[in-house]
Structure 1
């Protein structure tokens, strides 16, 4: 049975166009993990062989942008037998929600892994509401309520 999958067809077409548009040695994506811990999110992205000085993390209008560059080796006097490691620019963007504190975002790059800590704003954190208790029980007087509503 032939199955029509328009989304799969568009995805395959897009992959084909992107692969043919650039060199096969151009980085295709930046793999990353994102998890929520106690009071923050932790994003980790693999950037092996990336020049540490080229790693850039910025926030603009609620969008977190990660970018980095892996430089190509000099080809002067080299006879390549295999050359599969991509070089070029990496870029990834994430839209941040309302409950994020963008001024407190921090980043660290170590051994090819970029770690970005994204704090949850204090106003967005869940909190427990204390319930006040009085020593004397409140009585409900139906006559008083009826009087108040009729005015």
Structure 2
């Protein structure tokens, strides 16, 4: 028995959706890196209103929550809707060496950048030996 072309296309789309959603990490991918005495986290949040981004730090756990929404209105009718929508979140466990009281957040071009200074006590220092 031959499958109709539309059925094969539908199966292909469904398979792509399943594998795509399984490969995502809560919908928000990140990079974490250190430059000198500052730790940085870049989180991809394209299509998110910056005013709706919620950032909390509780017991050294950084949590970022946001929501992507479709354009809505009485005269809006989607022909194709492939971009993911809905709530996204990401948690990162932070070291005690980071000064979360001085955490800085910037959102530009769909990327949320968090900058967290390393505490002065945790920075490497040279010890002079007395003779």
Could you tell me the TM-score, scaled by structure 2's length? 0.75
Q: Which residue of 1 aligns with 2:53?
A: 55
Deviation at 1:92, TM superposition (A): 0.4
Secondary structure of the corresponding residue to residue 103 of structure 1 = helix
What residue number does 1:112 align with?
Answer: 110
Gaps of 5+ in 2: 1-17
Go from structure 1 to structure 2 and tell me whether the alpha carbon gap of 1:96 and 1:28 turns closer, same or farther (over 3 Å shift). Answer: closer
Pick one of 67, 70, 80 that aligns with 1:69: 67
Contact 2:41 2:114 in 1 (8 A): yes
* 1:127 matches 2:115: no
| 2:43 alignment counterpart | 45
What secondary structure is seen at the aligned counterpart in 2 of 1:127? coil
Whose strand fraction is larger, Structure 1's or Structure 2's?
2
Contact persistence 1:47–1:113 (CA under 8 A): yes
Number of equivalences: 110
CA distance in 1, matches of 2:44, 2:100: 22
Per-residue deviation, residues 111-130 of structure 1 (Å, max 9, x unmatched): 21100001111111111001
Please state whether the residue corresponding to 1:82 is helix, strand or coil.
coil
Q: Is this contact kept in 1: 2:26–2:89, CA < 8 A?
A: no
2:81 alignment partner, one of 65, 83, 93: 83
Q: CA 1:103/1:31 → structure 2, altered by over 3 Å: closer, same or farther?
A: same
Cα deviation for residue 73 of structure 1 reads 1.7
